[in-house]
Every structure is written in structure tokens, then in C-alpha cells.
């Protein structure tokens, strides 16, 4: 039997962090790996490992091969139970990728049955009679119907999944879930006897998720959003494999503190303004970059004498009007790319100068920076604010990283975060 209890394949980076935070809160020591791990990468000594892919909107074939490669690595790591994590709005392209990836994982594991549950009641995603609701409305009436990459126009998960797989799709309705884990297991048996391989699970509350988690203790593969994973750690505790009440502490990391902000969201704008009023700050100007000025060198020369325990801020954050103006002059994609590249090079230079405690604001910006820094994986610590945990990078040099999606965090996030690391 392997040491890693739960091994997950996640179809995007922030979704993986969301799952990681859920597991940490439930008492599992969790590492998030960035991309399919290289062969021979040492298996971290933790309870759960999540491989974060960027496969949600890729062609289905690509998503399948990335997910299978991740599964093979996890399997070699001795994982006991597998999880496939997707979005709580079941984000899918016309051809998948949830169905094809789940089919491939089942096949690789020799599993003839698995479950699907994107629900996340805390965030108002619920499933009733197989229909996915976002707040008070059906998925197809929510803003997801206009999503640029994965528009969701059918709220019936049985139908959506049915169009993505050759296998029979069934339902475990709320009426069964309300009768408890044994009733759910019996229903699984009935569905199996009827040739159903994929069961959509209803759930309206966290209680339902705990019931379902208990019912899935013996499945090789469970699939869902982060909510569906809530009930799984208890199974390992019951089996005596996981110590209840475990506290997760990250290794102590000392070194200069910096904040890099590439998000232009309303929350990040307020956070930048708040930090600027009391800390040194440097503005990264996309127009100067486009004109060929060496903004990386300028930023690093500015930062060098200021690097210390007291955080400094480097930001490209701008108002919507300023961003619109810049995008008009440089093109939306080009502006985004040159800013991400510049912030990534600045981050590398800062680490070379001893920065070890780093907050990054912006989803895309975070992805660009961690990949430029060559970070393979993150040990997940406690949450600073909902959805944003402190993490410690694996490998050398050890970095304390808080990767904040643009709109997350309170106004004083950038300064308070450094007080709560651990």
C-alpha cells in the first residue's frame, strides 16, 4: 500500500488550489504539482497530491493524454484513491473534456463505475435531479452560457455527460442521498446492474456531500468539483490511515518580501492603492516596455536597495480606462504578454537577489511567474483569505508563495499576509 492516500488530476491551476485548500482544511497534508511531474521526481511525503494541468479547453485528445500521464505518475507514487477535479460549473467544450478524461482514467484503473458531482453549495452551485443550478437559476441561464471558451447551454448533467461518453449515464437523486450513505451505495449497485458506468450525484448541501463522500469510500476514481472531495478525508480517518486533527505547518522561510501585482481587477486595484500608501512601490509601465526601455533592469535597480523584511510592491495594475487605452495602442494579447514576461523576469531577478517571500496577484500572472521561476510544486498551507493559501515551493531555493486570483482578498491583503505565514 502506498503512502499517498488521495491523488488528483485537476484540469486547471486555480481549481487545483481550490481542491488543495479543501483537503488541507479537512486535515490532509497536501502538495500541488504544477504540470505532469517529470519522471523520477521524488514523491512528496504527504497525504494528498494534486497534479494541476491546464487541460480544460484543450482538444479532448490532448486533455486525455495529459491526464493519463498525470495518472500514471500518481499510480507509480502508490496512490490509494484517485480524483478527477473539474469546475463547479462543469465547464466543458463541445467534445468534452470531462467525459473523455473520465473514460480514459476509468479504463487505465480498470474501474467500471464512477461518479460525477460538480456541486459546491457554499458557492451556490447545487445539483437537483441532475440539473446544475448556479445560485437561483439553471446553469444555462447563468453567465456561464456566455463563457468565451466553454459556454454551458444545457443544465442537464446527465445529457451533457451523455454527449461526451459512449457509456450509459445515470443519476443518484436527492431523495436517495437524503436517506444516507448506505442507500446511496445500494443505488450505485442498482445502477451498475443496469449497465450504468457514470452516475451524476445530486447534492444541495454540505451534509449531502459528506454522505456522498462516505458512499464513495471504495471507488477507485471519484470525479467532481472541490466540494465532492470534502467527505473523502473522513474515510481515510475511519480506516486509521489519516490522523484526525492534524495541523499543517509550512517550513519556516526567511528572506526578502515582495509583492508582484499583474491583475487589474477591482480588488487588486484597492490592494495596490492600500499598500502604496505605506510601502515603497514601483509601477511597471506597458508603454515603456513596448517602446523598448529595459523595464526589468530599471525595476531591479530600484528594488535592490529596498529589499528587506519589509515588503515592497511592483505592479502593472491600472484602472479599466488606462488598460483600455494601453490595449488599444498595443493590442490586448500583446499588452498582456509583455507585462507577464516583464513581471516574470523581475521575479527571477528578485529571487536571485534574495527575495524568498512572494505574493503574486493575478491568475495568469501567477502562472507565468511560477513557470519562469521553475517551481515544480507547492506545499499548501493555511488560507490567508478564502481561496488564497500560503504555499511553500518544493525544491531550491525554498520560496513562500501566495498566488492570489485577481478578485480575492481583503484590501489589506498584501501587508497582512506576511504576518500570518506558517
Where are the strands (E) in 179-242, listed by range?
Answer: 196-201, 221-224
HEC string for 63-87: HHHHHHHHHHHHHHCCCCEEEEECC
Residue nearest to ligand ADP (CB): 406
Decide: 73 and 4 in contact? Cβ < 8 Å.
no
Q: Which residues pair with 115 in a beta bridge?
A: 199, 222
Nearer to ligand ADP, 227 or 406 (CB): 406
CB of 126 to ligand ADP, least distance (A): 26
In order of 33, 161, 305, 307, the CA distances from 43 in angstroms are 10, 33, 39, 34
Percent of the chain that is helix, strand, coil (3-state, to 5): 40, 20, 35
Decide: 201 and 172 in contact? Cβ < 8 Å.
yes
CB of 408 to ligand ADP, least distance (A): 8
CB of 123 to ligand ADP, least distance (A): 17
What distance in Å separates the CA atoms of residue 129 and residue 264, rounded to the nearest whole number? 39
Neighbours of 375 (CB within 10 A): 18
- In this structure, the chain runs to a length of 422
Q: Which residues bind ligand ADP (CB under 6 A)?
A: 262-265, 286, 316, 318, 323, 326-327, 335-336, 339-340, 362-365, 405-406
Nearer to ligand ADP, 254 or 325 (CB): 325
CB of 269 to ligand ADP, least distance (A): 10
CA atoms within 13 A on the CB side of 9: 30
Phi, psi of 5 (to 5 degrees): -80, -45
Nearer to ligand ADP, 266 or 352 (CB): 266
CB of 160 to ligand ADP, least distance (A): 26
Q: Which residues pair with 203 in a beta bridge?
A: 127
Question: Which residues, other chains included, contact 192 with Cβ-Cβ below 8 Å and sequence gap of 6+?
Answer: 112, 113
Neighbours of 371 (CB within 10 A): 12
CB of 294 to ligand ADP, least distance (A): 18
CB of 416 to ligand ADP, least distance (A): 19
Amino acid at each position: 500500500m502506498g503512502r499517498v492516500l488521495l491523488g488528483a488530476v485537476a484540469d486547471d491551476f486555480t481549481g487545483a488550489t481550490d481542491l488543495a485548500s479543501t483537503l488541507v482544511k479537512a486535515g490532509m497534508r497536501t502538495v500541488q504539482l504544477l504540470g505532469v511531474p517529470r519522471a523520477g521526481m521524488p514523491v512528496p511525503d504527504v497525504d494528498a497530491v494534486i497534479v494541476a494541468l491546464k487541460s480544460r479547453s484543450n482538444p479532448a485528445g490532448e486533455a486525455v493524454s495529459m491526464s493519463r500521464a498525470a495518472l500514471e505518475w500518481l499510480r507509480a507514487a502508490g496512490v490509494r484513491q484517485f480524483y478527477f477535479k473539474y469546475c463547479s460549473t462543469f465547464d466543458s467544450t463541445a467534445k468534452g473534456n470531462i467525459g473523455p478524461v473520465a473514460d480514459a482514467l476509468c479504463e487505465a484503473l480498470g474501474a467500471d463505475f464512477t461518479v460525477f458531482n460538480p456541486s459546491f453549495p457554499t458557492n451556490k452551485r447545487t445539483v437537483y435531479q441532475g440539473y446544475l443550478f448556479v445560485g437561483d437559476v439553471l446553469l444555462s441561464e447563468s453567465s456561464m452560457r456566455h463563457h468565451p471558451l466553454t459556454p454551458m447551454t444545457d443544465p442537464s448533467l446527465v445529457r451533457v455527460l451523455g454527449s461526451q461518453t459512449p457509456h450509459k449515464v445515470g443519476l443518484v437523486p436527492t431523495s436517495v442521498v437524503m436517506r444516507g450513505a448506505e442507500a446511496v451505495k445500494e443505488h450505485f449497485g442498482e445502477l451498475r446492474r443496469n449497465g450504468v458506468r457514470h452516475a451524476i450525484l445530486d447534492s444541495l448541501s454540505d451534509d449531502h456531500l459528506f454522505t456522498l463522500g462516505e458512499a464513495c469510500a471504495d471507488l477507485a476514481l471519484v470525479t467532481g468539483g472541490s466540494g465532492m472531495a470534502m467527505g473523502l478525508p473522513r474515510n481515510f480517518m475511519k480506516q486509521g490511515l489519516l490522523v484526525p486533527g492534524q495541523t499543517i505547518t509550512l517550513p519556516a522561510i526567511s528572506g526578502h518580501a515582495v509583492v508582484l501585482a499583474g491583475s487589474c481587477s477591482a480588488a487588486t486595484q484597492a490592494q495596490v492603492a492600500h499598500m502604496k500608501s505605506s510601502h515603497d512601490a514601483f509601477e511597471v509601465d506597458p508603454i515603456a516596455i513596448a517602446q523598448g526601455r529595459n523595464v526589468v533592469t530599471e525595476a531591479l535597480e530600484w528594488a535592490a536597495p529596498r529589499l528587506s523584511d519589509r515588503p515592497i510592491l511592483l505592479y502593472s495594475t491600472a484602472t479599466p480606462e488606462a488598460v483600455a487605452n494601453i490595449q488599444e495602442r498595443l493590442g490586448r494579447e500583446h499588452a498582456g504578454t509583455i507585462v507577464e514576461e516583464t513581471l516574470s523576469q523581475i521575479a527571477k531577478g528578485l529571487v536571485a537577489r534574495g527575495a524568498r517571500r512572494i505574493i503574486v496577484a493575478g491568475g495568469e500572472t501567477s502562472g507565468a511567474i511560477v513557470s519562469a521561476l521553475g517551481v515544480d510544486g507547492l506545499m499548501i498551507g493555511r488560507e490567508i483569505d478564502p481561496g488564497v493559501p500560503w504555499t511553500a515551493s518544493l525544491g531550491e531555493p525554498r520560496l513562500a508563495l501566495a498566488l492570489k486570483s485577481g478578485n480575492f482578498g481583503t484590501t489589506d491583503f498584501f501587508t497582512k499576509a506576511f504576518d500570518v505565514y506558517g
